[in-house]
Structure 1
């Protein structure tokens, strides 16, 4: 059981540290808003990860295989949401530095910060496919409930630690000051990257 959980931990760690929409969102929130907002966005991301991991354990991959349109609907909705996030970032970059201090993300309250993280993660159904692949290839056949719950706990724990690290690391005074000096360029680059993720989702074939 220990070797199985270590393998799950290693694979999930590799996926976590690769920059993607989740890391981009939490990092952007940390430097542009506050550590609290970033932690809440990270909590939303972790909640999305927990949902996809749980659904993978319950066999959602079978649902995607039998009803491809379900996967397609989630994919299109997710791509559209990421494009909306990109639009928000680009729009904020055109505001004057001395003008309205509007947030660069659509998260103005604790609930909205959490929701932005959750929606950014849940927008990508490929997460369910990843977890389904990991569980089917790593977990022994006829694995007991204990092993499955252990794998789920490992995934959630590592996700919490990683996004807390990103939130704390990116919300330092030095990085926030650097962001304020180069806000327009950073917002446009972040918006372009987010648009790229959204476009890839929309163009992906089921």
Structure 2
């Protein structure tokens, strides 16, 4: 097993993880407005979504998307609409008095937080393209099942560690107190970013060219 290749997979995935996106925004917003437990569960939902996309990439879903672009298009439209809905929800919350966050309109149950995290990640079919490029480009087409499974384990483990750190760091008392003081502004910024992500996803062409 080539350690250098696996380290390259790890480094590439870390770069993708730390770049702010809908997943990081959701977990951070949940940590600020709710509890650490809810944020950890939202993060777990994101990790489950990553595991699904990585598994599908191993099974060759990229080839399926190429053969049937409408499947990728359908996922993209549904995902874009979902992110737009989240953005509108946060903006509507920012216009209301009090301290309630927009994300509190969703079920506060453990399953609700988990499901929201999963939907936020699974709504972006670009993840399949990324993992497909990792498994075919970085590992190579001749990589054995052991190498692919090792890369899969690295991706899932790094994702779990990263989102646990985000949930823990953003759910500290000082961070939550600062959020309560600036809730409206924070929700408006978060809502605008979600709207931007959703619009960008909807504007993406079928084959992933902007």
Question: TM-score band (shorter)?
Answer: over 0.9
TM-score, length of structure 2 as denominator length: 0.94
How many residues were matched structurally? 204
Match of 1:116 in 2: 116
Shift of 1:104: 2.5
1:139 maps onto 2:142 in alignment: no
Alignment of 1:76-115 (within 5 A): 76-97=77-98, 101=100, 104-105=103-104, 106-115=106-115
Gaps of 5+ in 2: none
Match of 2:6 in 1: 5
1:191 maps onto 2:174 in alignment: no
**1:70, 1:197 → 2: CA distance?**
20
Give the conservation status (yes or no) of the 8 Å contact 1:107–1:116.
no
Match of 1:30 in 2: 31
What is the root-mean-square deviation of aligned Cα atoms in Å? 1.1
Give the conservation status (yes or no) of the 8 Å contact 1:33–1:103.
no
**1:197, 1:21 → 2: CA distance?**
7
**2:17, 2:61 → 1: CA distance?**
21
**2:140, 2:88 → 1: CA distance?**
44
Give the conservation status (yes or no) of the 8 Å contact 2:33–2:101.
no
Match of 1:130 in 2: 130
Shift of 1:91: 1.4
Gaps of 5+ in 1: none
**1:92, 1:69 → 2: CA distance?**
34
**2:134, 2:172 → 1: CA distance?**
35
Give the conservation status (yes or no) of the 8 Å contact 2:57–2:132.
yes
**1:26, 1:138 → 2: CA distance?**
29
Shift of 1:183: 0.4
Shift of 1:141: 3.0
Alignment of 1:5-84 (within 5 A): 5-84=6-85
Deviations 1:8-37 (A, max 9, x none): 000000000000000000000000111000
